[in-house]
């Protein structure tokens, strides 16, 4: 229950920040363009808070925290007094309307630059991209990548952590190959060519790294339990945090991965564990639950997390920059994420990336909760990523989104007259239907991941 409330609270906080930023972009430019703003609302439904400024704008914090809007004076929606017609949105030039509509997504991109710049000033601690394992007959193995190699560059991008490696790889989705600069544990540097012909992401939640056969280095998991999930098979059987797992079915446990394999093969089959708790040995029988997987098979699980050995000091990198350099990095990283987002949309259309990877509100909530638990810097990184995603999403040419309005205004510029009200209404209905279907599909994907 606590975990659910934590994720929900983090989701509301993150969405509230990003929606406020987005709507403030519309609001600020509308005011500058001379449009009268009637209401600035964060959320929908019944108002929880309400106040007015000296210009008569109503500010609202509403009950349903799933978006927001800026309501402007507009003759197409309400009757407008003759003395206020010059203050209405529809009375402004098409260039002014384009500026107002595009200001929301632009505000999201500027916020991403701010969040990333602040993150780089504070200091970012991350893990060096050192390979822990390479899949047999995978693209990585064919390229000659080996355990212990550190990825220094992917294509023309320097890569100081795994996030940068992933972003760089995704930029080459659809290419035939990419050059990868590595450094071996002995310090020897060389260039490898990674074959990407036919590479695509078709499995739900499969990372780009896993799809080419790279497993990042992580410290070994011990056989001591760090956490036992509430209401899990392990908790119901009596396992506790701090228990040392010694044997299962009277056979010594060699490693955590070996234990995981045995548990996955033993769904709904009782397993007798010998454990050590408070220096005393005891036997505990646990029946792994059955968890259906996407591949149609099922696997057993206990609901436990092991204690992990500490990271080696030479595997951690801490980066902190002065404000000027940090802003430059923030701009570069934001542009990289914006470009990659549009490329991913194109790859979804062409089928190189499966639509099963689309995430919705639940996925965002889990991501927000996880990032908050990791600290302020991680939360800033998450906010930047979602802010870019929100800005890009709103630029899609769906009539109910900012991109749809921009599409109509661009057509107006070309035709020298506005798109007819009837055509716009039909477009809005189609756009709303598509948006509703996309949201429902994303939500179903989220539920499938739980």
| Secondary structure (DSSP) of 98-165 | HHHHHHHHHHHHHHHHHHHHHHHHH-EEEE--BEEEE-TT-HHHHHT--TT-EEEEETTEE-SSHHHH
Closest to 406 (Cα-Cα) out of 106, 110, 111, 94: 94
What 3-state DSSP class applies to 351?
coil
Looking at residue 162, its pLDDT comes to: 85
| Tokens linked to 312 | 């080696």
- What is the Cα–Cα distance from 119 to 376, expressed in whole angstroms? 9
- Overall average pLDDT of the 308-326 stretch: 87
Query: In this structure, how many other beta carbons lie within 10 angstroms of the beta carbon of residue 126?
Result: 16
Q: Which sequence positions are flagged as catalytic?
A: 23
Q: Give the helix/strand (H/E) hosting 209.
A: helix 208-211
Tell which wins on pLDDT, 371 or 321: 321
Least confident of 33-37, 301-305, 442-446: 442-446
- Overall average pLDDT of the 326-350 stretch: 82
Query: Which pLDDT band, with edges at 50, 70 and 90, does 40 fall under?
Result: very high
Q: How far is CA 30 from CA 27, 105, 196, 306, 419, in A?
A: 5, 14, 46, 54, 21
With a cut of 80, say whether residue 201 has pLDDT above it: no
Handedness of CA 144, 150, 156, 159 (dihedral sign): positive
Tell which wins on pLDDT, 323 or 124: 323
Angle at 357 between CA 141 and CA 4, to 5 degrees: 115
**Domains parsed from the chain with CATH numbers:** 126-219+310-319 (2.30.42.10), 221-309 (2.30.42.10)
8 Å CB contact between 196 and 173: yes
Looking at residue 338, its pLDDT comes to: 87
162 - beta bridge partners? none
Render pLDDT for 423-446 as a digit per residue (tens, 0 to 9).
777 776 776 666 666 555 444 444
Residues in Cβ contact with 252 at an 8 Å cutoff, skipping those fewer than 6 apart: 246
What 3-state DSSP class applies to 65?
strand
| Tokens linked to 392 | 């890009």
8 Å CB contact between 361 and 65: no
Residue-wise burial string across 387-406, b where 16 or more C-beta atoms lie within 10 A, e elsewhere? bbbbbbbbbbebbbbbbbbb
Tell which wins on pLDDT, 163 or 271: 271
Distance of CA 192 to the CA centre of its chain: 30
Residues in Cβ contact with 357 at an 8 Å cutoff, skipping those fewer than 6 apart: 201, 204, 205, 445
8 Å CB contact between 303 and 112: no
Tell which wins on pLDDT, 294 or 308: 308
With a cut of 80, say whether residue 298 has pLDDT above it: no
Looking at residue 444, its pLDDT comes to: 47
Looking at residue 79, its pLDDT comes to: 86
- Overall average pLDDT of the 259-273 stretch: 90
Handedness of CA 10, 203, 449, 22 (dihedral sign): positive
């Amino acid at each position: 229950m606590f975990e659910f409330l934590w994720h929900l609270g983090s989701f509301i906080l993150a969405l509230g920040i990003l929606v406020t930023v987005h709507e403030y972009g519309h609001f600020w430019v509308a005011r500058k363009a001379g449009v009268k703003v009637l209401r600035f609302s964060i959320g929908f439904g019944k108002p929880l808070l309400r106040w007015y400024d000296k210009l008569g704008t109503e500010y609202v914090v509403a009950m349903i925290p799933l978006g927001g809007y800026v309501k402007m004076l507009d003759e197409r929606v309400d009757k407008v007094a003759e003395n206020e017609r010059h203050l209405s949105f529809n009375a402004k030039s098409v260039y002014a309307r384009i500026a107002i509509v595009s200001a929301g997504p632009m505000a999201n991109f500027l916020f991403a630059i701010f969040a990333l710049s602040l993150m780089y000033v504070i200091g970012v601690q991350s893990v060096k991209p050192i390979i822990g394992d390479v899949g047999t007959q995978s693209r990585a193995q064919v390229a000659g990548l080996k355990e212990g190699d550190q990825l220094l560059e992917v294509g023309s991008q320097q890569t100081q952590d795994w996030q940068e490696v992933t972003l760089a790889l995704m930029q080459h989705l659809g290419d035939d190959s990419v050059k990868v600069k590595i450094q071996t544990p002995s310090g020897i540097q060389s260039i490898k060519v990674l074959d990407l012909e036919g590479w695509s992401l078709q499995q739900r939640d499969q990372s780009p790294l896993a799809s080419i056969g790279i497993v990042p280095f992580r410290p070994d998991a011990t056989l001591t339990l760090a956490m036992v999930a509430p209401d899990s098979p392990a908790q119901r059987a009596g396992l506790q945090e701090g228990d040392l797992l010694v044997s299962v079915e009277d056979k010594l446990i060699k490693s955590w991965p070996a234990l995981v394999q045995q548990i996955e093969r033993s769904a709904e089959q009782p397993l007798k564990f010998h454990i050590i708790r408070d220096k005393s040995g005891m036997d505990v029988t646990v029946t792994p639950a059955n968890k259906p997987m996407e591949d149609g098979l099922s696997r057993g699980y206990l609901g436990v997390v092991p204690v992990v050995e500490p990271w080696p000091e030479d595997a951690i990198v801490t980066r902190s920059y002065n404000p000027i350099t940090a802003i430059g990095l923030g701009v570069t990283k934001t542009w990289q994420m914006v470009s990659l987002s549009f490329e991913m949309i194109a790859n979804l259309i062409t089928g190189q990336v499966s639509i099963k990877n689309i995430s919705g509100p639940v996925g965002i909530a889990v991501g927000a909760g996880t990032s908050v638990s990791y600290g302020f810097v991680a939360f800033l990184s998450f906010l930047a990523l979602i802010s870019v995603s929100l800005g890009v999403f709103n630029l899609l040419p769906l009539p109910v989104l900012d991109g749809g309005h921009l599409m109509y205004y661009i057509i107006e510029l070309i035709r020298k007259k506005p798109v007819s009200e009837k055509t716009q209404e039909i477009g809005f209905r189609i756009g709303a239907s598509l948006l509703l279907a996309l949201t429902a599909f994303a939500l179903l994907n989220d539920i499938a991941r739980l």
